[in-house]
Amino acid sequence: MKTIKLQAAARADFGKKAAKSARHAGLVPCVIYGGGENLAFTVDVKAVKPLIYTPNSYIVEIELDGKVEKAVLREVQFHPVRDEILHIDFYRVQEGKPVAIAIPVRLTGTAEGVKVGGKLALSARKLVVSGLVENLPDELVVDVTPLQVGHTIFVGDLKFDGLQFISPATQAVCAVRVTRASRGAEAAEA
């Protein structure tokens, strides 16, 4: 899985006033939790934009006081009007323990249903999986070649080595929808 590095500075002051002054200085208040003590810190708002405004998932290496912490992005809070990042939560990655993360889905192949006029629809752009960091892929590749018109691939149909799906097994990943062209093709065959 891809990694991204962030330079961080420890936070000494807490509360609304301290967070507001940090935001005015171009910093985002953050916290890392899980597997030990919680660490409060700030990062430059420009440094976190490649992490947040992307469809990819990353393991984040946070350098804080000369020490590097590995984590995954857990939650981002935005201002309701200005689309400004208010706060970020990270979850610490521990050696030998599985981590839950949302990984993007990529479809490959040409579905049989699309060849007769159906329309392929991606229902889930990301799926939440759990696994060891070394087993986490950059993306979940799903082959849609055998998919017929009106058929759907669900999370329960997918199998990846070393990964366990947290997303419900009944969640649809992709489907080939019926279109007028596919109905016409069926009528011509009959």
State the Cα–Cα distance between residues 132 and 95, nearest whole angstrom. 8
Q: For the chain, which ranges sit under pLDDT 70?
A: 181-190
> What fold characterizes domain 100-189?
RNA Polymerase Alpha Subunit; Chain A, domain 2 (2.170.120)
State the Cα–Cα distance between residues 56 and 59, nearest whole angstrom. 10
| Residue 37 DSSP SS3 | coil
Burial of 14 (0-12, 13-18, 19+ CB in 10 A): exposed
> What fold characterizes domain 3-94?
Ribosomal Protein L25; Chain P (2.40.240)
State the Cα–Cα distance between residues 57 and 24, nearest whole angstrom. 28
User: Which residues, in sequence order, are CB contacts of 149 under 8 Å at separation 6+?
Assistant: 113, 116, 117, 118, 176, 177, 178, 182, 186
Domain boundaries, the chain: 3-94, 100-189
What pLDDT is recorded for position 189? 65
What pLDDT is recorded for position 182? 61
User: Which residues, in sequence order, are CB contacts of 100 under 8 Å at separation 6+?
Assistant: 128, 129, 130, 166
Query: Which among 98, 11, 74, 84 is positioned nearest to 46, based on CA atoms?
Result: 84
What pLDDT is recorded for position 190? 58
What pLDDT is recorded for position 188? 65
| Residue 175 DSSP SS3 | strand
Q: What share of the chain is helix, strand, coil (3-state, %, to 5)?
A: 20, 45, 35
